[in-house]
Amino acid sequence: MSQALEQAGDPEASWLGNALPAVHLTKAQSRVVDALVLNPKLASYADISEIAARAGVNASSVVRTAQALGYRGWPDLQRELRARYLVHISSSAPFSHRVEVRSPVHDALVHDAENLRQAVESVDADAAGAAIEALCAARRILVIGHGSYSAPAIVFGHLAATMGYPATFEGRGGVHLATAASSLGPGDVLVVVHLWRTLRQIAVAAEQASAAGATVVAITDLRTGRLARAADHVLVVPSEGVFAFQSTTAATSVAYGLLAGMEAREPDKVRAGIERTSALWREHDLYED
């Protein structure tokens, strides 16, 4: 175990949360962990050669350290560290001094393009496939998300219902969320879309649904933590925004991907569901054309 991890009460390590588990490490791996803990910005943005140089090891030692900590490799670990770092600085830094932007709209587009590129690597294909299988077989699908991060959840819940699946969206908290989650059981699926700092009631809803036998699918930017532990299938997305807020672009793209996977798995069912929904739209005379 590294010296930095042994210092449990050290405020310098508070930004990490539980991203680095207390596991047995070699001396070289401990030096890598110490370099990460003591240099949050470096850990979040530097390339592997810079991390290796700071720790006094070679690049392969950095890779092996990430794997020893339970990650697939250095990019996987760095995405987790960056998500933690962004939570830390956005919670402690003055709002007006967090990020400098030159051309806000253009910068946001470029930044989200990079988020999508990273999501190709961070989203586990097996977990996505298993989530699609569970969604297609679900007796009920409850989709939850709060605040600005509820946007991908709203998209998924609405379109899944349009496709004929028994999906509902719950964006309220408190008794509304508790009541909706309490009815879940075997054969049901809870889809949670949540970024940034985990809300306690979101984590509790996921834990209770899991305990009741429901399948939990989480679209989140944190691979570790209470929500990830409660989920059966975790789809990890980058969420770094160009300004002070997290971006939901990658999470929304994953939501569309799940829907596409459901259609590919059950094309006839989805076609029939969309036709029924379209017929209702016509009956209600919703559109001018």
Q: Does residue 3 register a pLDDT over 60? A: no
This prediction's pTM: 0.74
Q: Cα(216)–Cα(209) distance, rounded to whole angstroms?
A: 7
Q: Cα(205)–Cα(278) distance, rounded to whole angstroms?
A: 33
Q: Does residue 98 register a pLDDT over 70? A: no
Give the closest residue to 15 by CA, choosing from 67, 91, 78, 74.
91
**What is the reported pLDDT for 233?**
98
The phi and psi torsions of 107 (rounded to 5 degrees) equal -60, -40
**What is the reported pLDDT for 179?**
95
Which residues are CB-contacts of 226 (< 8 A; sequence separation ≥ 6)?
A: 198, 203, 206, 207
Express each pLDDT in 13-51 by its tens digit.
566 767 788 788 999 999 898 888 877 878 888 889 989
Query: What angle is formed at CA 168 by the lines to CA 164 and CA 169, rounded to 5 degrees?
Result: 135
**What is the reported pLDDT for 90?**
61
Q: Does residue 7 register a pLDDT over 50? A: no
CB 276 within 8 A of CB 144: no
CATH number of 3-92: 1.10.10.10
CB 234 within 8 A of CB 254: no
Among 7-16, 71-80, 198-207, 242-251, the least confident range = 7-16
- Name the more confident of 147 and 87: 147
CATH number of 121-283: 3.40.50.10490
Q: What is the mean pLDDT of residues 142-164?
A: 95
Tokens of 102: 């030159």
H/E/C letters for each residue in 117-132?
HHHHHHCCHHHHHHHH
**What is the reported pLDDT for 59?**
93
Give the closest residue to 81 by CA, choosing from 2, 8, 19, 14.
19
Which residues are CB-contacts of 216 (< 8 A; sequence separation ≥ 6)?
A: 189, 190, 192, 206, 209, 210, 230, 231, 232, 233
User: Where do the structural domains in the chain lie, given as residue ranges?
Assistant: 3-92, 121-283
**What is the reported pLDDT for 96?**
42
Q: What is the mean pLDDT of residues 85-92?
A: 68
Estimate the crossing angle of helix 249-265 against helix 104-122, to 10 degrees. Answer: 50
> Residue 217 burial (CB < 10 Å; 0-12/13-18/19+)?
buried
Q: Does residue 122 register a pLDDT over 80? A: yes
The phi and psi torsions of 143 (rounded to 5 degrees) equal -115, 130
**What is the reported pLDDT for 11?**
46
**What is the reported pLDDT for 163?**
97
**What is the reported pLDDT for 8?**
37
Give the closest residue to 233 by CA, choosing from 205, 264, 258.
258
> Residue 124 burial (CB < 10 Å; 0-12/13-18/19+)?
middle
Percent of the chain with pLDDT over 70: 89
Q: What is the mean pLDDT of residues 257-262?
A: 98
Mark out the alpha helices in 123-185 (DSSP H runs).
Answer: 125-137, 151-162, 174-182
Q: What is the mean pLDDT of residues 246-265?
A: 96
Q: What is the mean pLDDT of residues 64-83?
A: 90
Q: What is the mean pLDDT of residues 232-260?
A: 91
SS3 (DSSP) at 141: strand
Work out the mean pLDDT of the chain and round it to a whole number: 87
Residue linked to tokens 């991890």: 5
Express each pLDDT in 171-229 by its tens digit.
999 999 999 999 999 999 999 999 987 889 999 999 999 999 999 999 998 887 899 99
* CA terminus-to-terminus distance, the chain: 66
Q: With cut-offs at 50, 70 and 90, classify the pLDDT of residue 259.
A: very high
**What is the reported pLDDT for 102?**
65
Q: With cut-offs at 50, 70 and 90, classify the pLDDT of residue 289.
A: low
SS3 (DSSP) at 173: coil
